[in-house]
Amino acid sequence: MNNNKEILEKVELDDLSHEEMGDNHIASSADTPLRPDAFDRSNEEKIEIIRKHFYSIMEALGLDMEDESLKGTPERVAKMYVEEIFCGLNPENKPNAKKFSNKYEYGDMVLEKNIQVTSFCEHHFLPFIGKAHVAYISSGKVIGLSKINRIVNHYSRRPQVQERLTLQIADELEKALDTQDVAVFIESKHFCVSLRGIQDMASSTVTSEYRGAFKKSDVQQKFIDYIKTKTEM
């Protein structure tokens, strides 16, 4: 049954043009599409390749690349791509979510609210920014609260689709905490919607993933109620 579903989904994707996939924000995979040789080059090599290509892009746009204000832009953009906004592509940067025993036997929901999400849409390379709310119920293990923020940041720092980002955070929490009882809720504003195409400045996109105990309506509602509660200091 699953194989048939995957075949059908592949046929549907094959029927779409690249332009349609981008305009409709359709992802081809729940995993970030990476080549097997993605990390054969050093960061320095990647920066130099991107610098050259971005120089060509700026030049093609008609910009004066001898201007003092623009000369350093290709280098700055290349470093930003590799070392900052897309650093989550490199598995070496993945946070080490060390587990601790839940010695105090806290058995209720742990919720980390209003985690800043800064990512880039993989279809237009424009940012989408917003907030993530992440919760789990311990199965006997806990992780440091800051590690939840780091997990969200790690998977955000790559070309993304919001639905995939939501699933990747949930997957990582499951592995880090040895529990299926996790929930992820993300609301963000996509600049590829507000700055191009429909140019809708007001809309936002919401995605969620509920697993384990969070599939129960009462637990899910409690999670939503906690999100709505004004707790900002």
Question: Domain with 175 in it: what CATH number?
Answer: 3.30.1130.10
Please report the pLDDT score of residue 117 as a whole number: 97
Residues 47 and 105 in one domain: no
Residues 80 and 104 in one domain: no
| Residue 99: other Cβ atoms inside 10 A | 15
The count of structural domains within the chain is 2
Q: What percent of the chain has pLDDT over 70?
A: 83
Residues 77 and 176 in one domain: no
**Domain housing 222:** 99-228
The stretch 141-157 carries a mean pLDDT of: 91
Please report the pLDDT score of residue 125 as a whole number: 92
Annotated catalytic residue: which of 133, 154, 160, 162?
162
Task: Judge whether 121 counts as a catalytic residue.
Answer: yes
30 occurs within a structural domain: no
Structure tokens at 100: 């601790």
Residues 204 and 103 in one domain: yes
Q: Which of 8-12, 109-113, 118-122, 228-232 has the lowest mean pLDDT?
A: 8-12
97: pLDDT strictly greater than 80? no
157 occurs within a structural domain: yes
Residues 174 and 128 in one domain: yes
Residues 75 and 153 in one domain: no
Please report the pLDDT score of residue 233 as a whole number: 59
Residues 44 and 154 in one domain: no
Please report the pLDDT score of residue 30 as a whole number: 79
Structure tokens at 224: 């939503």
The stretch 115-134 carries a mean pLDDT of: 94
Task: Judge whether 192 counts as a catalytic residue.
Answer: yes
Q: Check: CB of residue 158 under 8 Å from CB of residue 94.
A: no
66: CATH = 1.10.286.10
11 occurs within a structural domain: no
185 occurs within a structural domain: yes
Among 54, 85, 116, the domain boundary falls at 85
Among 85, 110, 141, the domain boundary falls at 85
199 occurs within a structural domain: yes
The 10s digit of each residue's pLDDT in 15-32 is 656 666 555 555 567 789
15 occurs within a structural domain: no
8 occurs within a structural domain: no
Task: Report the C-alpha gap between 73 and 82 in whole angstroms.
Answer: 14
Residue 82 pLDDT class (50, 70, 90 cuts): very high
Closest CA relative to residue 215, chosen from 173, 187, 180: 180
Residues 116 and 188 in one domain: yes
Task: Judge whether 180 counts as a catalytic residue.
Answer: no
Residue 105 pLDDT class (50, 70, 90 cuts): low
Residues 75 and 169 in one domain: no
21 occurs within a structural domain: no
Annotated catalytic residue: which of 124, 154, 160, 172?
124
5-9, 95-99, 216-220, range with greatest mean pLDDT:
216-220
198: pLDDT strictly greater than 50? yes
Annotated catalytic residue: which of 25, 160, 192, 209?
192
Phi and psi at residue 132, in whole multiples of 5°? -115, 140
Residues 108 and 210 in one domain: yes
Q: Is the pTM of this model over 0.95?
A: no
Residues 6+ positions from 213 with CB-CB distance below 8 Å: 137, 180, 181, 219
Phi and psi at residue 5, in whole multiples of 5°? -65, -45
Residues 153 and 49 in one domain: no
CA distances (Å), origin 78, targets 53, 70, 227: 9, 14, 37
Task: Judge whether 154 counts as a catalytic residue.
Answer: no
Task: Judge whether 124 counts as a catalytic residue.
Answer: yes
Q: Check: CB of residue 128 under 8 Å from CB of residue 191.
A: yes
Task: Judge whether 53 counts as a catalytic residue.
Answer: no
Closest CA relative to residue 183, chosen from 143, 138, 133: 133
Residues 55 and 163 in one domain: no
Annotated catalytic residue: which of 25, 168, 190, 209?
190
Please report the pLDDT score of residue 3 as a whole number: 52
